[in-house]
Amino acid sequence: MNTLFDKIWDSHVVSDIEDGPTQLYIDRLYCHEVTSPQAFDGLRARGIGCLRPERIFCMPDHNTPTHDQDKPIEDPVSKAQVDALERNAAEFGLTYWGMNDPDNGIIHVVGPEKGLSLPGMTIVCGDSHTSTHGAMGAVAFGIGTSEVEMVLASQCILQQKPKSMSIRVEGSLGKGVTAKDLALFLMSRITTSGATGYFVEYRGSAVRSLSMEGRLTLCNLSIEMGARGGFVAPDETTFAYLKGRQYAPKGADWDKAVEYWKTLRSGDDAVFDREIVFDAAEIQPMITYGTNPGMGMAIDGSIPADAGRKALDYMGFEAGQKLLGHKVDYVFLGACTNGRIEDFRAFASIVKGRRKAEGVTAWLVPGSWAVKAQVEAEGIARILADAGFEVRQPGCSACLAMNDDKIPAGKYAVSTSNRNFEGRQGPGSRTLLASPLTAAAAAVTGVITDPRELL
């Protein structure tokens, strides 16, 4: 029996090139401002348009400031990229949601919340974290600029078919353990190259018990294990999340779609190229200590003896050191990894009735205007304000140093984003990846703290 990955991939094959790649049909292309300008220039040079403009959605997110979005962008490079996307979308007749548009946000947050990303789809974007959309039961992956041009022109792409991997996590996640901790745990075990060449299907009772937001976080981080992408088979959780969303099917079309989506699963006798099983009981709240997402450990653990010297020198840590109680300068809640409503609820559950620690700068950045509106409607913004926090405007923010939200050199940031590479959050910045609960615990204590102590 074929795996679910085989089913979705094979149903989108237009043609196979002998001893070459597959021509794959793409259901949805997302465009942001960073990787698309040269692709549109390529169309212009060839004198052609977009084949299926109704399947393409554009929005800026990487370069957008998270304050004063009603004013012109001050940074000239950021402004040029955002302006170029708006012009290109207008010229080629594409849907564009710009800054301050209520539909705007981080592209990987907006796609699922609008019902644009649906089970069984093939989805691409010029961004590695496109794997996020796999949580909907889709084959979603990042592509390069030349491939963006390919999809704009033909709604198809040339791709080698990846191998399939099953990662099964059985049992129940413990107190204070989130989808982010699950992902960081998997990376610490598999390493950042352990899934290279594979498309991962996440399975097992612990995965099934995750909310849609949790699944989106897990799939978002597939790329950090080296995988081409990762996904979760659609189920009742998926259908409940999608029902009534703006672009999801309606009425009789909805019933027909769900009937089809229920067939999207790997058979009991499906054969994967590689299978790994983990016990959820092993997983604790996690934190990274190094300069790649695989350098993670249990929050109450000690830095391994074999940790790389170069990474530890950069971070200012020593092998054998515990991180509990280590001073924190910045806390960042947000990114396409953890900028959803559930992440804000989790953060607020820790800070409620407490105060932001002196000396800590906290950037709380919703992944979309819809998330920001929900944070206000649910009273979360009030809880956060009472504790001394401010909710900013949507954008990629401090996930990467492409906008105003940069961590200064030498400063420590507990971050809910996806990467902790050298300089990722600003030249010389030191990033510790963690869950929203762990970020909140650091924000109110001023030091790295086990969130289970505050729950």
- List, for residues 65-104, the tens digit of each pLDDT value: 999 999 999 999 999 999 999 999 999 999 999 999 999 9
Give the residue range(s) of CATH 3.40.1060.10 domains in the chain: 163-237+250-281
H/E/C letters for each residue in the chain?
CCCHHHHHHHCCEEEECCCCCEEEECCEEEECCCCCHHHHHHHHHHCCCCCCHHHEEECCCCCCCCCCCCCCCCCHHHHHHHHHHHHHHHHCCCEECCCCCCCCECHHHHHHHCCCCCCCCEEEECCHHHHHHHHHCCEEEECCHHHHHHHHHHCEEEECCCEEEEEEEECCCCCCCCHHHHHHHHHHHHCCCCCCCEEEEEECHHHHCCCHHHHHHHHHHHHHHCCCEEECCCCHHHHHHHCCCCCCCCHHHHHHHHHHHCCCCCCCCCCCCEEEEEEHHHCCCEEECCCCCCCEEECCCECCCCCCHHHHHHHCCCCCCECCCCECCEEEECHHHHCCHHHHHHHHHHHCCCCCCCCCEEEECCCEHHHHHHHHHCCHHHHHHHCCCCECCCCCHHHCCCCCCCCCCCCEEEECCCCCCCCCCCCCCEEEECCHHHHHHHHHHCECCCHHHCC
CA distance 211 to 204: 14
Report the CATH fold assignment for 163-237+250-281.
Aconitase; Domain 2 (3.40.1060)
Domain 4-159: state its class: alpha beta
Which residue type, as a one-letter code, is found at position 32?
A: H
Quick one: which of 199, 64, 53 has its CA closest to 130? 199
Per-residue pLDDT reduced to its tens digit, 313-323: 999 999 999 99
Low-confidence ranges of the chain (pLDDT < 50): none
pLDDT at res. 1: 74
Tally the C-alpha atoms within 13 A of residue 78's C-alpha that lie toward its C-beta.
Answer: 22
CA-to-CA separations, 372 to 109, 381, 385, 436, 440, in angstroms, rounded? 12, 9, 14, 16, 18
pLDDT at res. 185: 98
Give the residue range(s) of CATH 3.30.499.10 domains in the chain: 4-159, 286-453
Which residue type, as a one-letter code, is found at position 218?
A: L
pLDDT at res. 75: 94
pLDDT at res. 283: 98
Structure tokens at 274: 């590689």
Per-residue pLDDT reduced to its tens digit, 9-52: 999 999 999 999 999 999 999 999 998 999 999 999 999 999 99
Report the CATH fold assignment for 286-453.
Aconitase; domain 3 (3.30.499)
Is the pTM higher than 0.75? The answer reads: yes
Which residue type, as a one-letter code, is found at position 110?
A: V
Q: What angle do CA 221, 222, 227 make, to 5 degrees?
A: 145
